Amino acid sequence: MKDTDQIHTKNTEEQGITLPYLKKAVIFSITFGFFGVNMAFALQSAMMGRIFQTLGADPNNLGWFFILPPLAGMIVQPLIGYYSDRTWTRFGRRMPYLLIAGPIGAIVLVLLPNAGSFGFGYASLMALSFGAIMTLLMDLTSNACMQPYKMIIGDMVNEKQRDMAWSWQQIFSNLGGIIATLLPFLLTIMGMSNVAPKGEVPMTVKIAYYIAAAVLLIASIWTVLSVKEYEPKTYNYYHGISDDNRNEKLNLWQLLKTAPKQFWQISVVQFFNWFALMYLWTYSTGAIAKNVWNATDPSSAGYQAAGNWYGVLYCIQFLSSVIFGFVIAKSKPSQRKFWYSFGLIFGGLGLISMFFIHNQWLLIISFIFIGINNLTMNTQPFTLLTEAIDGENSGAYLGLFNTSICLPQIVASVVSFALFPLLGSSMPAMLLFAGIMMLLGAISVKFINAKFE
């Protein structure tokens, strides 16, 4: 019998790939589950500022609550990546983590919007603490669900199909986001109350969270049952890993020190991008309420209408991402840097425009632009990174790479305590600053050394 390493080398030389071509049905199974995961993340992004201000949080202190989600991601994803690289069960390598995190995440999604309904009191420490803890748990479980979907693409999809796989994943992700963020608006149209007693979250938002919980649970279980991962021997064969060369003694710190230079170059771009996004999530509802409805009281009908409209705009952002995803799905590996920069430019312009716009309908253009970046920022960094790493520690590196997403959000939250009053406590001005940061990210793409450039 021929040595598997010799066979792998022959495959690489003759075909130019290491992994086999997958049927589209298989790629569908690998990517579709992100639909449920992003329903949770979309509600967090679109409704978190609204929920905490409804609970009575001081706008000057919103940054504290938004530190928790990226902090959770920065801890959870590297650990899941590292240990899943060294895991094998009858359910696979990555799937067991999804099987555990999915049901817990569904429970947390039910509890979070009820933080103001347990009689803790408006702006009370108990209400805000309960909301903060549930937010932390939601992000822990959402990250634990997200990471297996990211890693499985690097595990099973070859280089020529990888752009399509990442794009499909984001198309399904954005479809989930569309439904999640549109739900409060649709429920209001159907006659459900969009206002609630002071300190409580409206029923429209609660029902949206309940539906997201059900979808997350179903999607997680369906993925675990339908995706069949390569068993260790086959995985090693396709990734050119021999038992003699495996080094399982490297810890996360050692892996970080030996990371390819592209890891750090892409991380610089990520800093500008995700710094900006933190302010989009934190201040958009308040900025729209101020610019369009001239409302600043979170319990007012105008402010809650702005919250619903932000959900619609977020839906438009996701729809823009879905449409643009079909463009990226047909792109070539040599175009990855171009599309990465392209998306950042449009995202920056979208954020900057929100500072100047006082008409709710014109904001649609802003979020179409932001949607283009939403697609490219969730595809191009990962295709650029996975082309630069091998399969032996791919899960760990993808988990560590998540730090380049989470750390900028933490920095942005801390900086906001000084920046927000410096800019006159103006939420629209915070979005203007975010847009400038995103344009700086577009410039920094130039310095990435892409393998297929």
- pLDDT tens digits, residue range 165-220? 999 998 998 899 888 878 888 899 999 988 888 888 899 999 999 999 999 999 89
Is 176 domain-assigned?
A: yes
Kindly indicate the confidence band of residue 85, based on its pLDDT and cuts at 50, 70 and 90: confident
Is 47 domain-assigned?
A: yes
Are residues 192 and 279 both part of a single domain? no
Question: What phi and psi values does residue 61 have, to the nearest 5 degrees?
Answer: -110, 10
**Where is the domain boundary, 196, 215, 241?**
241
In this model, does residue 16 exceed pLDDT 60? no
Q: What is the pLDDT of residue 249?
A: 63
Kindly indicate the confidence band of residue 121, based on its pLDDT and cuts at 50, 70 and 90: confident
Helix (H, G, I), strand (E, B) or coil at 37: helix
Are residues 233 and 325 both part of a single domain? no
Is 11 domain-assigned?
A: no
Domain that holds residue 202: 22-241
Average pLDDT over residues 214-239: 90
- What percentage of the chain carries pLDDT values higher than 90? 43
Helix (H, G, I), strand (E, B) or coil at 89: strand
Q: What is the pLDDT of residue 248?
A: 56
Average pLDDT over residues 287-295: 95
| Single-letter code of the amino acid located at 157 | V
Give the side-chain half-sphere CA count within 13 A for 420. 20
Are residues 267 and 209 both part of a single domain? no
Are residues 63 and 180 both part of a single domain? yes
Kindly indicate the confidence band of residue 332, based on its pLDDT and cuts at 50, 70 and 90: confident
In this model, does residue 11 exceed pLDDT 70? no
Are residues 87 and 201 both part of a single domain? yes
Cβ neighbours of residue 58 closer than 8 Å, sequence gap 6 or more:
none
Exposure of 91 by Cβ count < 10 A (0-12 exposed, 13-18 middle, 19+ buried)? middle
Is 12 domain-assigned?
A: no
Average pLDDT over residues 368-384: 94
The CATH number for 303's domain is 1.20.1250.20
In this model, does residue 115 exceed pLDDT 70? yes
**What is the Cα–Cα distance from 279 to 113, expressed in whole angstroms?**
22
In this model, does residue 60 exceed pLDDT 70? no
Are residues 190 and 258 both part of a single domain? no
Are residues 179 and 305 both part of a single domain? no
Q: What is the pTM of this model?
A: 0.74
Question: What phi and psi values does residue 118 have, to the nearest 5 degrees?
Answer: -100, 15
Helix (H, G, I), strand (E, B) or coil at 92: strand
In this model, does residue 17 exceed pLDDT 80? no
In this model, does residue 7 exceed pLDDT 60? no
The closest of 368, 402, 381 to 339, measured between CA atoms, is: 381
Exposure of 22 by Cβ count < 10 A (0-12 exposed, 13-18 middle, 19+ buried)? middle
Average pLDDT over residues 292-319: 87
**Where is the domain boundary, 193, 213, 241?**
241
Average pLDDT over residues 103-108: 94
Exposure of 13 by Cβ count < 10 A (0-12 exposed, 13-18 middle, 19+ buried)? exposed
Is 137 domain-assigned?
A: yes
**Where is the domain boundary, 220, 241, 262?**
241
Q: What is the pLDDT of residue 243?
A: 63
Is 14 domain-assigned?
A: no
Q: Work out the mean pLDDT of the chain and round it to a whole number.
A: 87
Q: What is the pLDDT of residue 385?
A: 92
**What is the Cα–Cα distance from 374 to 331, expressed in whole angstroms?**
17
Residue 356 has a CB neighbour count (10 Å cut-off) of 11
What's the total number of domains in the chain?
2
Are residues 210 and 280 both part of a single domain? no
In this model, does residue 116 exceed pLDDT 70? yes
Q: What is the pLDDT of residue 68?
A: 72
- Residue 229 is given by DSSP the state P
Is 7 domain-assigned?
A: no
Kindly indicate the confidence band of residue 404, based on its pLDDT and cuts at 50, 70 and 90: very high
Average pLDDT over residues 94-117: 92
Q: What is the pLDDT of residue 245?
A: 54
Q: Comparing 68 with 431, which gets the higher pLDDT?
A: 431
**What is the Cα–Cα distance from 43 to 208, expressed in whole angstroms?**
8
Kindly indicate the confidence band of residue 277, based on its pLDDT and cuts at 50, 70 and 90: very high
In this model, does residue 4 exceed pLDDT 70? no
Are residues 444 and 313 both part of a single domain? yes
Tell me the H-state helices in 258-299. 261-288
Residues 120 and 200: beta-carbon distance below 8 Å: no
Are residues 324 and 377 both part of a single domain? yes
Is 132 domain-assigned?
A: yes
Kindly indicate the confidence band of residue 63, based on its pLDDT and cuts at 50, 70 and 90: low
Are residues 256 and 236 both part of a single domain? no
Are residues 320 and 431 both part of a single domain? yes
